[in-house]
């Protein structure tokens, strides 16, 4: 068969999905994909097709996440679990280096940047592709982070376009989804209709094209493309939350002293869940772990959160002592000052911070409150234009 190329996509039958997994594994990739664990969909190593969450879907709302059986046996019927791909590129706890005493001085040996061979992410959603690009700007835009750089360089991305949406999604207004249009090696679009259960499959890179070669593919027919169109429309119609990326920075910067920060600060527990589940939050701290023998000491990097009181410790106190100031920092960084620092929005509209907030604080609702009240009290804030 000819080498599949960009253009009209190919079709992979549902029963042949296992062949894709086998192709990846035989090419030396460790496949990380969705699995059911602890009542949630979490990404982990997938060795065979049966480990995928076939026939599972999630129900999400602000402060709510439930996994349930679905009526059909779609493979990617769920939306997003609590954790994205971040831990695989930016590990939550990671050895940076070991220093050994050496005749009055010390020798530093950098920790391993990778954790075994190259990874293939299977099931990357459009918002997660966007999150990866945001992270690349953070970790590789200036001084490159060796861990992120090495892991990203070896990474294969197999995106899966969403075939439904969660109520917490707001990717269209963030211009990151729901369609997957770029940033993948391979993209799968799961179709389930009277025409059958199958995947539209498309390669975005040469590496992706090579991996498709051994698969039994057929060219997509008109009804496949029609099914996709109908599905995409259903997905978009199901998304009701919005946070317009074009307005975000201007509205936030014009309202840094808005009374809403106080209100949300009274609800926020400063638990830092939102920063832990956010696919782009990158703050970290370091830890020094000397060995008992005193011969060596290890330096670790650990995820940190701007919601912690100690995050802004300066001399005798914390700069951001109130919770409202920490919420303002998180939201204004994500939506506004991220542009200044990294040239993009820090939010991709995945909605995880909404789902996993134990008190159901909704970023889109907070933004709407800033924006509508800004119209009436905006003059007071005296903001900087975007």
Partner 1 sequence: MRSPRPDLLGELREHPFLRGMDPGFLKAIEGATQERSFGTGDLVIREGEAAKEMLLVQHGKIGLELVAPDRPRLSLLTVGPGEIVGWSWLIPPHLWLSDGRALKPTRILAIDGATLRAALEDRPKDAYQFMLRLVPVISRRLQIARIQVMDIHGV
Partner 2 sequence: MGSETAAPPGSHEGGASPWAPTPYRVVERAQETADTATLALEPVEPAPPPGFVPGQFHMLYAPDIGEAAISISGATSDPRRRVHTIRSAGRVTDALTKARVGDVVGVRGPYGRGWPLREAEGKDLLLVVGGLGLPPLRPVLYEVLAHRDRFRRVEIAYGARTPKDLVYYDEIQAWRTRKDLRFQVTVDRAGVDWYGDVGIVSQRIPDMRFDPSSAVAFLCGPEIMMRGSAQALVDRGMSRSSVYVSMERNMKCGFGQCGHCQFGPFLLCRDGPVLPYASVERYFALREL
- The span of 57-65, 223-231, 285-293, 314-322 binding partner 1 (CB under 8 A) equals 314-322
Beta-carbon contacts of 301 under 8 Å, excluding residues fewer than 6 positions away, are 93, 94, 96, 284, 285, 286, 287
What is the size of the binding site for partner 2 (CB under 8 A)?
Answer: 49
Residue 189's binding partner among partner 2, partner 1, none (Cβ under 5 to 8 angstroms by kind) is none
String of DSSP letters for 243-278: --HHHHHHHHHTTTT-THHHHHHHH-----HHHHH-
Q: Does 3 sit behind a cis peptide bond, omega within 30 degrees of 0 on the bond before it?
A: no
Distance CA 203, CA 209 (A): 5
Distance CA 298, CA 288 (A): 6
Distance CA 307, CA 329 (A): 9
- The span of 74-82, 124-132, 197-205, 283-291 binding partner 2 (CB under 8 A) equals 283-291
Distance CA 109, CA 93 (A): 17
Distance CA 56, CA 316 (A): 51
Distance CA 199, CA 179 (A): 15
Residue 301's binding partner among partner 2, partner 1, none (Cβ under 5 to 8 angstroms by kind) is partner 2
CB of 88 to partner 2, least distance (A): 17
CA distances (Å), origin 262, targets 203, 252, 268, 274, 323: 48, 15, 10, 18, 8
- The span of 35-43, 77-85, 202-210, 305-313 binding partner 2 (CB under 8 A) equals 305-313
Q: Which is nearer to partner 1, 143 or 316 (CB)?
A: 316
Distance CA 252, CA 273 (A): 22
- The span of 3-11, 43-51, 185-193, 304-312 binding partner 2 (CB under 8 A) equals 304-312
Residue 294's binding partner among partner 1, partner 2, none (Cβ under 5 to 8 angstroms by kind) is partner 2
Interface with partner 2, residue 285, by CB under 8 A: yes
214-220-221-227 Cα dihedral, nearest 10 degrees: 130
Q: Which is nearer to partner 2, 79 or 258 (CB)?
A: 258
60, 273, 284, 364: which one binds partner 2 (CB under 8 A):
284
Contact pattern from residue 128 through residue 157 relative to partner 2, giving x for each residue in contact according to CB under 8 A and a dash for the rest:
----------xx--xxxxx-----------
Helix (H) or strand (E) holding 202: strand 196-203
What is the size of the binding site for partner 1 (CB under 8 A)?
Answer: 3
CB of 309 to partner 1, least distance (A): 17
Q: Which is nearer to partner 1, 298 or 312 (CB)?
A: 312
Interface with partner 1, residue 310, by CB under 8 A: no
- The span of 157-165, 231-239, 297-305, 365-373 binding partner 2 (CB under 8 A) equals 297-305
45, 48, 92, 106: which one binds partner 2 (CB under 8 A):
106
Q: Helix/strand/coil (H, E, C) string of 117-140? A: CCEEEEEECHHHHHHHHHHHHHHH
CA distances (Å), origin 205, targets 150, 208, 209, 263, 273: 19, 5, 6, 48, 35
Interface with partner 1, residue 316, by CB under 8 A: yes
Residue 293's binding partner among partner 2, partner 1, none (Cβ under 5 to 8 angstroms by kind) is none
CB of 321 to partner 1, least distance (A): 14
Residue 157 tokens read as: 């991305």
Q: Which is nearer to partner 2, 32 or 132 (CB)?
A: 132
Q: Which is nearer to partner 2, 22 or 96 (CB)?
A: 96
Contact 343, 134 (CB under 8 A): no
2, 315, 379, 385: which one binds partner 1 (CB under 8 A):
315
Residues in touch with partner 2 (CB under 8 A): 96-97, 99, 104-108, 110-111, 138-139, 142-146, 256-257, 282-286, 288, 290, 294, 297, 299, 301, 304, 306, 311-315, 319-322, 325, 329, 333, 336-337, 340-341, 384
Site for partner 1, rule CB under 8 A: 315-317
């Amino acid at each position: 068969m000819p080498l599949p190329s960009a253009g009209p996509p190919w079709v992979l039958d549902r029963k042949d999905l296992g062949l894709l997994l086998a192709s990846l594994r035989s090419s030396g990739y460790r496949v990380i994909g969705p699995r059911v664990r602890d009542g949630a969909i979490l990404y982990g190593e997938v060795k065979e097709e049966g480990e995928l969450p076939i026939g599972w879907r999630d129900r999400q709302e602000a402060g709510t996440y439930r996994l349930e059986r679905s009526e059909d046996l779609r493979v990617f019927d769920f939306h997003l679990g609590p954790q994205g791909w971040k831990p695989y590129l930016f590990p939550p706890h990671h050895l940076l280096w070991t220093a050994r005493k050496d005749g009055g001085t010390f020798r530093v040996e950098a920790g391993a940047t990778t954790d075994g061979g190259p990874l293939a992410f299977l099931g990357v959603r459009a918002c997660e592709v966007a999150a990866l690009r945001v992270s690349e700007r953070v970790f590789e835009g200036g001084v490159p982070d060796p861990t992120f750089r090495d892991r990203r360089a070896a990474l294969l991305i197999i995106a899966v376009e969403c075939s439904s949406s969660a109520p917490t999604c707001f990717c269209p207004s963030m211009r990151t989804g729901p369609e997957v249009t770029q940033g993948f090696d391979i993209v799968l679009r799961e179709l389930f209709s009277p025409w059958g259960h199958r995947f539209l499959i498309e390669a975005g890179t040469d590496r992706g094209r090579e991996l498709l070669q051994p698969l039994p593919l057929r060219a997509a027919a008109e009804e496949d493309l029609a099914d996709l169109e109908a599905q995409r429309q259903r997905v978009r119609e199901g998304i009701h939350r919005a946070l317009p990326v074009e307005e975000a920075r201007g509205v936030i910067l014009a309202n840094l002293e808005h009374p809403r920060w106080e209100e949300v600060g009274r609800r926020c527990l400063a638990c830092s869940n939102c920063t832990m589940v956010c696919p782009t939050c990158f703050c970290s701290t370091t830890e020094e772990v000397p060995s008992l023998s005193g011969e060596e000491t290890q330096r670790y990097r650990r995820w940190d959160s701007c919601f912690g009181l100690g995050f802004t410790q300066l001399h005798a106190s914390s700069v951001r002592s109130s919770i409202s100031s920490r919420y303002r920092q998180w939201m204004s960084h994500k939506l506004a000052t991220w542009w200044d620092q990294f040239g993009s929005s820090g939010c991709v509209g995945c909605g995880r911070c909404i789902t996993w907030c134990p008190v159901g604080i909704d970023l889109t609702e907070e933004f709407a409150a800033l924006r509508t009240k800004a119209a009436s009290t905006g003059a007071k804030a005296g903001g900087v234009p975007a």
